[in-house]
Amino acid sequence: MEYIFEREPQQFHVRNHQGHLPIHIVMQNVDTIVGSHAHVNELWTFVLGEYPESAGIADNRGRLALEVAIENGLECIDELVGAEPRAVETRSMINYMYPFEQAALALATHGIHGQLPRDYVETEALTVIYKLLRIANGAARSLECNTRTLGSYTRI
């Protein structure tokens, strides 16, 4: 992959029919691209390093790379937030959740039903939620205000 991008660096800016940039593709197809999470870190680090602005570009469904990474249990939160700090306070265009809410939902859904490894559920997922809450202080406060003023916070 590095060879292709070295010869044709404009490929970092090319979207597929779903509006995915290489960063979205790497994070969405973790197992099929490389076969193990061990090589994924190198791959997304390379892609993000070559085109850091891609962390702030949504696909056709409105998903930023941070949302795709959370959905797939990837551990690149710090790097993605570093490349696009506004992503932590950006609601999903699909379910209108903040990233920390998405991470909590992924933990509840996949962790409870045994789809995520137990050690991931106990350490990584909770760490991701904590990091996102610390960074997205404003988003968390807006939820608190909504709860106080409306009595309960509901989603459509």
Does position 116 have pLDDT exceeding 90, yes or no?
Answer: no
Structure tokens at 27: 């994070």
Does position 64 have pLDDT exceeding 90, yes or no?
Answer: yes
Does position 54 have pLDDT exceeding 90, yes or no?
Answer: yes
What's residue 31's pLDDT? 59
For residues 129 and 136, is the Cβ–Cβ distance under 8 A?
no
The whole-number average pLDDT for the span 37-49 is: 78
The whole-number average pLDDT for the span 2-22 is: 82
The whole-number average pLDDT for the span 7-26 is: 87
Residue 119, burial from CB neighbour count under 10 angstroms (0-12, 13-18, 19+): exposed
What's residue 65's pLDDT? 92
Rounded Cα distance between 29 and 120, Å, is: 19
Q: What is the pTM of this model?
A: 0.73
Residue 42 CA, chain-centre distance (Å), reads 17
Residue 36, burial from CB neighbour count under 10 angstroms (0-12, 13-18, 19+): exposed
Nearest to 107 by CA among 96, 91, 93, 118: 118
pLDDT in tens, 131-152: 888 877 655 555 555 544 444 4
The whole-number average pLDDT for the span 97-119 is: 70
